[in-house]
C-alpha cells in the first residue's frame, strides 16, 4: 500500500463570497469523491478542512538557533491550502484517475506521494 496526500488549494476570499448553492455543489462533489474512492478500493485515512490561512502560524529558523514565528501562511498567494485528504491505495494509477474525475468537477487538487 502506498500513501498519498491531496492538498486542496482554493482562493479563500472568493470562496467565502460564493452563494450557498455553490457550497452545496462542492459538498456533493466531495461526497461523490468519497464514493469513488470506496468503489475503487482506495482507503481514506483522514481528511478535513483547515482553518483560514490568516490564522496559520508559520515558523522558520532565525539563523542563530532559534525560530521566527509569524502569523499567516509561508507564502502570499491568491490560493491557499484549505483542506486535505490522506489516502492509501494498492493502485496509484487508479487513484489518480479518481482524482482527475474529482478535479473535472471543478476541484483544485495537488497530488503528492508520501515517501517512506
Single pTM value for the model: 0.85
Domain that holds residue 62: 2-113
What grid cell was written down for 62? 532565525
CB environment 13-46: b (16+ within 10 A), e (fewer): eeeeeeeeeeeeebeebbeebeebbeeeebeeee
Q: What is the pLDDT of residue 73?
A: 78
What grid cell was written down for 33? 469523491
Question: What is the domain-level CATH number for residue 63?
Answer: 3.30.70.1060
Q: What is the pLDDT of residue 84?
A: 97
- Tens digit of each residue's pLDDT (9 = 90 or more) over 44-57: 999 999 998 889 99
Q: What is the pLDDT of residue 16?
A: 78
Q: What is the pLDDT of residue 5?
A: 97
Whether residue 59 contacts residue 98, with contact meaning beta carbons closer than 8 Å, is answered with no
Model confidence at 87, in pLDDT bands (50, 70, 90)?
very high
Q: What is the tally of structural domains in the chain? A: 1
Amino acid at each position: 500500500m502506498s500513501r498519498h496526500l491531496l492538498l486542496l488549494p482554493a482562493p479563500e476570499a472568493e470562496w467565502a463570497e460564493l452563494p450557498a448553492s455553490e457550497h452545496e455543489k462542492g459538498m456533493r462533489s466531495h461526497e461523490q469523491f468519497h464514493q469513488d474512492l470506496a468503489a475503487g478500493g482506495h482507503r481514506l485515512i483522514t481528511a478535513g478542512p483547515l482553518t483560514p490561512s490568516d490564522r496559520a502560524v508559520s515558523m522558520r529558523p532565525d539563523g542563530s538557533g532559534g525560530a521566527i514565528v509569524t502569523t499567516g501562511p509561508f507564502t502570499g498567494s491568491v490560493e491557499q491550502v484549505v483542506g486535505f485528504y490522506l489516502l492509501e491505495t494498492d493502485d496509484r494509477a487508479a487513484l489518480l484517475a479518481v482524482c482527475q474525475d474529482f478535479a473535472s468537477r471543478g476541484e483544485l487538487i495537488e497530488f503528492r506521494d508520501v515517501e517512506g
